[in-house]
Structure 1
Amino acid sequence: MNNSVPAEPPLPERGRLPFTVKLAYGAGDLGAAITANVTAIYALVFFTNVAGLNPGLAGSVLLLGKIWDAVNDPIVGVLSDRTQSRWGRRYPWMIFGAIPFGLVFVLQWIVPQFDQWGLFWYYVLIGVLFNTFYTAVNLPYTALTPELTQDYDERTSLNSFRFTFSIGGSILSLILALGTFSLLKVPPAQQYLTLAIVAAIISVLPLYWCFFGTRRYAVLDSKSDDTASIPYFEQVRIAFTNGPFLFVVGIYLCSWLALQNTVAVIPYFVKEWMQLRQDQWFTAVIAMVQVVALATLFVWSLVSARVGKKGTYFMGMGLWILAQAGLFFLQPGQISLMFLLAVMAGFGVSTAYLVPWSMIPDVIELDELKTGQRREGIFYGYMVLLQKIGLAIGLFLVGQALQWSGFIKPTAELPVPVQPDSALLAIRLMIGPIPTVILLGGLILAYFYPLSREVHAEILLQLQARKEAERGGAE
């Protein structure tokens, strides 16, 4: 099949991109952000308080789905590297996976009339299907970054647009939830299902905007045939013998695990420790973090252009660590201080979105220099996998900790139970000291990350020299 780009007016060099292309690229992450944020914030509460699962089973549902992802994500990454079509390697996955992605998301928020184990296996099965389609659309999308530009700072700018839509999608999901819970006077099960349907529709459409808005600028003739000749496990070995990639993996996993652990426990922290029982309160706290993260995203992009990615990460993490540690000492009634800490956390969360994803294209080009292959899919596959593992581990740990600490789930007979001191302490530990230690681990890894702007420029020079030598040899 011919993968060459049809004859059109000349494109600019693979550096600076037009604003409309960046906007369309950013839109591709909107649906992933909406569905992931709704899952991260509301899934555990939905399972325990609406579907009626006990906390231990509820926390295990998403973890089992991620065990499947350990197989699913890298395979989709490799398959997208090998895909050949007139649209290139990534776009067919987005085009054909978008609608099933939306439909299966809705099925996660249905409450069938099953017993505990019937509900458990239903949600595990649907979770596996949803994770499959989420990967099918989101992983190839993330792998578009190095195919759109090779410029070191332009990639940071491109990811700024991506995470503008990503964080904006998270905020939009909270607005949709607040509107649904406040205005729709129906039982909670119907509220969640309505929220899922609206979120699914909004999530599917931007994937097509991304396709139509960026396809002319993507490199469609990357070396997919060469990659296909390398066995899967050999590609995994090569990816994980790339030293800088391991640093990025560690940095991202620490950031994302801390974030998802906090997001999962915030509803319980606000309701049970701060004694603010209405869902609007914990939704407002999460919204504050996301709004600040969005507002500071382009500021951090400008800072990164001056001080580099590593320096930017250190600045943001410093603020986030102070905020995270402060939550442990927060007392009921200190509502203003709670929101101040949310603002501080938002500054750090912004860099956690931006910096690791901006590092990955540089790692991919180091791999190309060493091997002569471009394997975006395998590297992005593991990044997407880690993102979802962070979500799953966060939810699983919160569910198990609540179970072990004697958390009393609400029932029709006891809608607002008084929690034992052991459960309250577990909630405070999970929102303060534990994420703080994880974030400090990410800072240590960032300190030793080896690919600076200067090193990346040298990599590009060597790649360019190799390509010119190959062209000369071909002549």
Structure 2
Amino acid sequence: MSNTSPPPPDSNNPATQKLSFSTKLAYGAGDLGPAITANVLVFFLMFFFTNVAGLAAGTASNILLIGKVWDAVNDPIVGVLSDRTSHPWGRRYPWMVYGAIPFGIFFFLQWIVPSTNPTVLFWYYVIIAILFNTAYTAVNLPYTALTPELTQDYNERTSLNSFRFAFSIGGSILSLILAQIIFAVFKGNPIEQYLVLGAICAVISVLPLYWCFLGTRKHVIAQLPENPVEDSSTSLPLKEQLRIAFNNRPFLYVIGIYLCSWLGVQLTASILPYFVIDWMKLPSATFTQTAIAVQGTALAMLFVWS
């Protein structure tokens, strides 16, 4: 009688491979730095520009606008370049490894007040915003593309994203706790407060990216034959990819929902310090406590949603 039992799963096949806890932990850590920096920027940067650097609100808004417009431009560019990268480490890791240090440096440089001249400050912060958003994209976008290169198993991908989400939420709350501690230690000197906050967050944000690389590289590099570099001669041109995407009505609905939801998040976070300090006339230390309460509420509601 013939043996009809299915063959054992190939442990080297990314479609069936189970990932270790340490691999998932290292992968999740890769989102800690982007979460910390993004959260600090959304809560504090606008307030820093107007109340510490002394810029007019309109000027500060224009700096943020230019930085985000450039961010929208460089995202697809970095995505295409990452897909076409040929390196012994694969397509994603060179961007993360070489981009991590500039990512930390440009984040820190946003918290320096190099001049009292509004024109000098405007151009300084615009240039730094462009450089930081480029570095952020260079490390974060390839990082998010690691998931299918680690595994193609649905359950394992879900587990990976759970670890990533945990580090993302943890990083956001950690950034506010750090701000609360730093502002309490360095009382009465706002420039020093934000400089120290920027320096500490920069270091904490860079190191987990290397943890992610070191903790997941063995698995990804072993899978490289299963993940060949995209052949640019057969891939669709970027213009054609964009045309297809923007002719996809469900995709446009998702983009619209995402845009509106993040608009609400960004507006709330940006105006919160003004509301707490200037309108409610509460001590500045109260703002970070309020921000922690806001994000804690958001975290609690995630469990209700799930």
What TM bracket, shorter-length normalisation?
A: 0.7 to 0.9
Residue pairs, 1:395-410, within 5 angstroms: none
> Deviation digits for residues 9-58 of structure 1, max 9, x if unmatched?
94465354322222111100111111111111111110010000011101
- The reply on whether 1:269 has 2:271 as its aligned counterpart is no
* Residue 263 (structure 2) aligns with: 257
Q: Deviations over 1:121-146 (max 9, x none)?
A: 11001100111101100110011122
For structure 1, the 5+ residue unaligned runs are: 1-8, 301-315, 317-350, 352-475
CA distance in 2, matches of 1:119, 1:35: 21
Instruction: Please show how residues 12-31 of structure 1 align to structure 2 within 5 Å.
Output: 13-15=14-16, 16-31=18-33
Corresponding residue of 1:422:
none
Distance 1:216 1:228, change over 3 A: farther
User: Which residue of structure 1 aligns with residue 150 of structure 2?
Assistant: 148
Which has the bigger relative contact order, CA under 8 A and spacing at least 6? Answer: 2
Q: Please tell me whether the aligned partners of residues 14 and 153 of structure 2 are also in contact (alpha carbons under 8 angstroms).
A: no
Distance 2:233 2:281 in 1: 55
SS at match of 2:230: helix
Alignment correspondent of 1:202: 204
| 1:194 Cα offset (Å) | 0.8
Distance 1:147 1:34 in 2: 25
Q: Which amino acid aligns with 1:211?
A: F
Partner of 2:3: none
Check the 8 A contact 2:35/2:169 in 1, yes or no: yes
Instruction: Name the structure 1 match of 2:87.
Output: 85
Give the superposition deviation at 1:79.
0.3
Pairwise mapping of residues 199-348 of structure 1 onto structure 2 (< 5 A)?
A: 199-218=201-220, 219-220=223-224, 221-227=226-232, 229=234, 230-273=236-279, 275-294=280-299, 299=303, 316=305
CA distance in 1, matches of 2:160, 2:301: 15
Q: Structure 2 vs 1, CA of residues 69 and 162 (structure 1 numbering), >3 Å: closer, same or farther?
A: same
Residue 70 (structure 2) aligned to one of 50, 68, 71? 68
The change in CA–CA distance for 1:224 and 1:13 in structure 2 (over 3 A counts) is closer
For 1:224, what is the secondary structure of its paired residue? coil
TM-score, normalisation: structure 2? 0.87
CA distance in 2, matches of 1:239, 1:268: 39
Distance 1:153 1:281, change over 3 A: farther
- Cα 1:243–1:153 change in 2 (3 A) is farther
The alpha-carbon deviation at position 147 of structure 1 amounts to 2.3
* Matching residue within 40, 43, 46 for 1:44: 46
Cα offsets for 1:395-419 (capped at 9, x unmatched) = xxxxxxxxxxxxxxxxxxxxxxxxx
Corresponding residue pairs, total: 292
Query: SS at 2:273's partner residue?
Result: helix
Evaluate the alpha carbon distance shift between residue 106 and residue 265 of structure 1 in structure 2; reply closer, same or farther with a 3 A threshold.
same
Check whether the contact 1:26–1:210 (CA below 8 A) recurs between aligned residues: yes
1:38 & 1:86 partners in 2: Cα distance?
35
Give the deviation of 1:186 after TM superposition: 5.4
Tell me the distance in 2 between the aligned counterparts of 1:296 and 1:149. Answer: 30
Mapped contact 2:14–2:150 kept (Cα < 8 A): no
* Aligned match of 1:466: none
Contact 2:15/2:151 (CA < 8 Å) preserved in 1? Answer: yes
Give the superposition deviation at 1:184.
1.7
> 1:168 is aligned with what amino acid?
G
Asked if the contact 1:40/1:260 (under 8 Å) is kept, the reply is yes
CA-CA distance at 1:222 after TM superposition: 2.7
State how far apart, in whole Å, the 2-side matches of 1:78 and 1:265 are.
35
Question: Which residue of structure 2 aligns with residue 126 of structure 1?
Answer: 128
- Paired position in structure 2 for 1:173: 175
Mapped to 2, the partners of 1:236 and 1:88 lie a distance apart of 25
Look up the equivalent residue of 1:250 and give its one-letter code.
Answer: G
Q: Secondary structure at the match of 2:219?
A: coil
Cα distance change of structure 1 residues 152 and 258 upon mapping to structure 2, 3 Å threshold: farther
User: In the alignment, is residue 113 of structure 1 matched against residue 119 of structure 2?
Assistant: no
Bigger mean CA offset, 182-191 vs 257-266: 182-191
Q: Match for residue 400 of structure 1?
A: none
Call closer, same or farther: CA 1:259–1:64 in 2, change over 3 Å.
Answer: same
Q: Distance in 1 between matches of 2:46 and 2:299?
A: 25
Deviations 1:196-248 (A, max 9, x none): 01110000000011111122333434353335543221222233344443333
Query: For the structure 1 residues 22 and 228, does the alpha-carbon distance in structure 2 shift closer, same or farther, using more than 3 Å as the test?
Result: farther
Q: Alignment identity in percent?
A: 62
Q: Deviations for 1:144-199, whole angstroms, at most 9, x for unmatched residues?
A: 12222334444333222112111111111111111111012452111101110111
Distance in 1 between the 2:150 and 2:251 partners?
A: 20
One-letter identity of the residue aligned with 1:251 = I
Whole-Å Cα distance in 2 between the matches of residues 228 and 216 of structure 1? 29
Which residue of structure 2 lines up, in the alignment, with residue 338 of structure 1? none
1:17 alignment partner, SS class: coil
Alpha-carbon distance change, 293 to 158 in structure 1, aligned in 2, over 3 angstroms: farther
Which letter maps to 1:70? A
